[in-house]
Chains A and B, each alone.
Chain A
Amino acid sequence: SAVISQKPSRDICQRGTSLTIQCQVDSQVTMMFWYRQQPGQSLTLIATANQGSEATYESGFVIDKFPISRPNLTFSTLTVSNMSPEDSSIYLCSVVTGGETQYFGPGTRLLVL
C-alpha cells in the first residue's frame, strides 16, 4: 500500500493568483497522477507525472495552466495558475504501487473567489 499526504488540505484563493499543491508519498513510486474532481462530479485525470520524464497531459489540460514537477520518486507538485472560479475543485494526487493498485491522497479543496 501507499500513504499519500497533500498540502494544503484546503485553500481559498483570489482569481488571477496561483496555488501550488504538494503531494508526498511514503514509498518510492514510479507512476503518479493528478486528478480534478469538480463539485458533485467524478474524477478527471489532469496529467500523468512519471519520474524522469515530462508530465503527460490529458486533453483539455495544458502545461501553462497546470505545471507539474516530479523531482524524485516520492514527491510531486501541481500548480494551478492564473486561477478563475471555474478552477474551484478538489485536486487529488494518486500513485500506482508495484502491486498495480492505485491509491489516492486525501485531496486539496480549492475555492477560487
Chain B
Amino acid sequence: AQSVTQLDSHVSVSEGTPVLLRCNYSSSYSPSLFWYVQHPNKGLQLLLKYTSAATLVKGINGFEAEFKKSETSFHLTKPSAHMSDAAEYFCVVTSGGYQKVTFGTGTKLQVIP
C-alpha cells in the first residue's frame, strides 16, 4: 500500500520567517517523492523531487526538502517566507515508475505581511 500524509492542512507564517510543510509517506517500494505548488487559479508547478540520489534536495524559489527514510518523511522548508509563496503545496509519492501515484491532501500556506 502507498499513502501520503500532509500533517497540516493550513500553515500561517509571517513574511521573512521560516517555512516548514510536513509530509510523511508510506510505500512498499523505493519511492520517488515530489513537492508541487499550486497558486490560486493556476496549474501545478514542480518545486523539487527526490529520486534516490542526494537526500537533501534543493528546488526552485529557495525551497528544499530532506528525504529521511528512517522517519518516512519528506518535509519542505524555506528559510525565509515571501508573500509570493502563499499557495497550496502538494506532496506526491510515486513508485514502480509511475505505476502508482499518490497525492497528499495539500497544505495551504498563508504568509502574513
Contact = CB atoms under 8 A, between A and B. Distances in A.
Interface of B is mostly: strand
Contact of A33 (B36, B42, B97, B101): B101
Contact of A106 (B32, B43, B92, B106): B43
Interface string B55-87: 000000000000000000000000000000000
A105 interface: yes
Interface of A is mostly: strand
Nearest to A6: B43
B105 interface: yes
A33 B103 CA distance: 13
Interface residues of B, number: 19
B25 interface: no
A63 B42 CA distance: 28
Interface string B86-102: 00001010100110010
Counting contact residues on chain A (CB < 8 A from B), the size range is: 10 to 19
B49 A101 contact: yes
Contacts of B106: 41-42
Interface in A60-113: 92, 96, 100-107
B101 A42 contact: no
B105 A101 contact: no
A55 interface: no
Contacts of B101: 33, 45, 102
Contacts of B90: 42-43
Interface of B: 32, 34, 36, 42-44, 46, 49, 51, 90, 92, 94, 97-98, 101, 103-106
Given A42-B104, A42-B106, A101-B49, 11 more contacts: A42-B105, A43-B44, A43-B90, A44-B103, A45-B101, A92-B44, A100-B32, A100-B97, A103-B46, A104-B43, A106-B43
